[in-house]
Chain A
Amino acid sequence: MRKNVKSKIAIVIALVASSWYLWPTYTFFTMTSEEKLVLEEEGSLNRLEDKALHLGLDLLGGMHMVLEIDQTGLTEDQATDALDRALEIIHNRVDQFGVREPVIQKQGEDQIVVQLPGVDQKRATTLIGQTAQLTFQLVKEVEEFNRIISTIDRELAISEGLIVDEPEEETADTTAADFLGMIGETDAVDVDEEHPLLSKLSSRYQGAVTVEERFIPYVSRVLADSTVQALIPPDVGLAWGRDLHTLGGKNYRQLYLLKAEPELYGSAIANAMVQIGTDMDLEAPNQPYVSLELNSRAGRRFADITGANVGRRLAIVLDGVLQSDPRINERIPGGNCRITLGNTAINEARDLAIVLRAGALPAPMRIIEQRSVGPALGRDSIVRGVRAMVIGIALVIIFMVFYYKKAGLIADLALLFNLVLLTAAMAGVGATLTLPGIAGIILTIGLAVDANVLIFERIREELASGKTVRAAIDTGYSRAFRTILDANLTTLITALVLLQFGTGPIKGFAITLSFGIIISMFTAIIVSRVIFDALAARRWAKGVSI
Chain B
Amino acid sequence: MRFFKDPKYNFMGVRKYSFILSAVVLGVGIISLIAHGGPELSIDFLGGSMIQVKFDRAIPLGQVRSALAELDTLNLGSYDLQNFGSDDEILIRVAQFTSGESVGPIIESVLRENFPEATISIEREESVGPKIGQSLGRKALLAVFYSLLGILIYISWRFEFRFAVAAIIALFHDVLVTIGAFSIAGKEISLAVMAALLTIIGYSLNDTIVIFDRVRENRRVLRRSSFTEVINTSVNQSINRTINTSMTTLLVVLMLFIYGGGIIHDFAFALLVGVVVGTYSSTFIASPVLVEWQNRVAAKGKDKGR
* Alpha-carbon distance A126/B143, docked complex (angstroms): 34
Given contacts A376-B123, A442-B256, A506-B195, contact A381 B261 (CB under 8 A): yes
Q: Say yes or no: A367 contacts B127, CB within 8 Å.
A: yes
Residues from 248 to 284 in B contacting A, C-beta threshold 8 Å: 248-249, 251-253, 255-256, 258-261, 263-264, 267-268, 271
B193 to chain A, nearest CB (A): 10
Q: Say yes or no: A453 contacts B241, CB within 8 Å.
A: yes
| Beta-carbon nearest neighbor of B74 in chain A | A179
A450 within 8 A of B: yes
| Beta-carbon nearest neighbor of A131 in chain B | B100
B46 within 8 A of A: no
Chain A residues lying within 8 Å of B268, measured Cβ to Cβ, are: 439
Residue in A374, A384, A396 whose CB lies within 8 Å of B264: A384
Q: Say yes or no: A368 contacts B129, CB within 8 Å.
A: yes
Which of B10-18, B33-41, B205-213, B293-301 faces chain A?
B205-213
A1 to chain B, nearest CB (A): 29
B70 within 8 A of A: yes
* Alpha-carbon distance A400/B249, docked complex (angstroms): 12
B65 within 8 A of A: no
Q: Interface code B187-227, partner A: CB below 8 Å = 1, 0 otherwise?
A: 00001101100110111011101100110000000000000
| Beta-carbon nearest neighbor of B153 in chain A | A493
B147 to chain A, nearest CB (A): 4
Q: Interface code A471-509, partner B: CB below 8 Å = 1, 0 otherwise?
A: 000000000001100111111111101101111011001
Given contacts A384-B260, A446-B252, A483-B210, contact A490 B202 (CB under 8 A): yes
Residues from 376 to 406 in A contacting B, C-beta threshold 8 Å: 376-377, 380-381, 384-385, 387-389, 391-393, 395-396, 399-400, 402-405
Given contacts A170-B75, A454-B210, A502-B143, contact A129 B158 (CB under 8 A): no
Q: Say yes or no: B252 contacts A395, CB within 8 Å.
A: yes
Given contacts A403-B244, A497-B146, contact A447 B206 (CB under 8 A): yes
Chain B residues lying within 8 Å of A457, measured Cβ to Cβ, are: 240-241, 244
Residue in B99, B128, B155 whose CB lies within 8 Å of A490: B155
Chain A residues lying within 8 Å of B154, measured Cβ to Cβ, are: 489-490, 493
* Alpha-carbon distance A399/B248, docked complex (angstroms): 8
A366 within 8 A of B: yes
Chain B residues lying within 8 Å of A487, measured Cβ to Cβ, are: 205-207, 209-210, 213
Q: Say yes or no: A486 contacts B195, CB within 8 Å.
A: no
A295 within 8 A of B: no
Q: Say yes or no: B252 contacts A442, CB within 8 Å.
A: yes
**Range of interface residues on A (Cβ < 8 Å):** 35 or more
Q: Say yes or no: B255 contacts A388, CB within 8 Å.
A: yes
A166 to chain B, nearest CB (A): 9
Chain B residues lying within 8 Å of A498, measured Cβ to Cβ, are: 143, 147, 195, 198-199
Q: Say yes or no: B245 contacts A368, CB within 8 Å.
A: no
Residue in A175, A372, A446, A488 whose CB lies within 8 Å of B249: A446
**Range of interface residues on B (Cβ < 8 Å):** 35 or more
* Alpha-carbon distance A482/B216, docked complex (angstroms): 12
B24 within 8 A of A: no
Dominant secondary structure at the A interface:
helix
B73 within 8 A of A: yes
Residue in A174, A483, A493 whose CB lies within 8 Å of B150: A493
Q: Say yes or no: A185 contacts B73, CB within 8 Å.
A: yes
| Beta-carbon nearest neighbor of A403 in chain B | B1
* Alpha-carbon distance A488/B64, docked complex (angstroms): 49
A71 to chain B, nearest CB (A): 13
Given contacts A493-B151, A501-B142, contact A439 B264 (CB under 8 A): yes
Q: Say yes or no: B213 contacts A491, CB within 8 Å.
A: no
Chain A residues lying within 8 Å of B247, measured Cβ to Cβ, are: 399
A369 within 8 A of B: yes
* Alpha-carbon distance A403/B247, docked complex (angstroms): 12
Chain A residues lying within 8 Å of B260, measured Cβ to Cβ, are: 384-385, 388, 439
Chain A residues lying within 8 Å of B180, measured Cβ to Cβ, are: none
Chain B residues lying within 8 Å of A449, measured Cβ to Cβ, are: 245, 248-249
Q: Interface code B98-132, partner A: CB below 8 Å = 1, 0 otherwise?
A: 11111011100000000000000111111111011
Q: Say yes or no: B251 contacts A370, CB within 8 Å.
A: no
B143 to chain A, nearest CB (A): 4
A401 to chain B, nearest CB (A): 10
Residues from 329 to 379 in A contacting B, C-beta threshold 8 Å: 366-374, 376-377
| Beta-carbon nearest neighbor of B249 in chain A | A446
B45 within 8 A of A: no
A79 within 8 A of B: no
Residues from 404 to 418 in A contacting B, C-beta threshold 8 Å: 404-405
Q: Say yes or no: A175 contacts B101, CB within 8 Å.
A: yes
Given contacts A387-B259, A453-B241, contact A443 B271 (CB under 8 A): yes
Chain A residues lying within 8 Å of B214, measured Cβ to Cβ, are: 483
B52 within 8 A of A: yes
A436 within 8 A of B: yes
A212 within 8 A of B: no
Q: Say yes or no: A385 contacts B100, CB within 8 Å.
A: no
Residue in B97, B122, B139, B210 whose CB lies within 8 Å of A172: B97
* Alpha-carbon distance A396/B245, docked complex (angstroms): 10
| Beta-carbon nearest neighbor of B252 in chain A | A392
| Beta-carbon nearest neighbor of B214 in chain A | A483
A510 within 8 A of B: yes
Chain A residues lying within 8 Å of B129, measured Cβ to Cβ, are: 68, 366-369
A34 within 8 A of B: no
Interchain Cβ contacts under 8 Å between A and B, 11 examples: A170-B75, A366-B99, A366-B129, A376-B121, A388-B259, A391-B255, A392-B256, A396-B248, A443-B203, A487-B213, A490-B206
Given A402-B1, A487-B207, output 16 extra A-B contacts at Cβ < 8 Å.
A122-B104, A173-B99, A370-B128, A388-B264, A392-B256, A396-B252, A403-B244, A442-B256, A443-B249, A443-B252, A446-B203, A447-B206, A493-B150, A494-B147, A501-B143, A506-B191
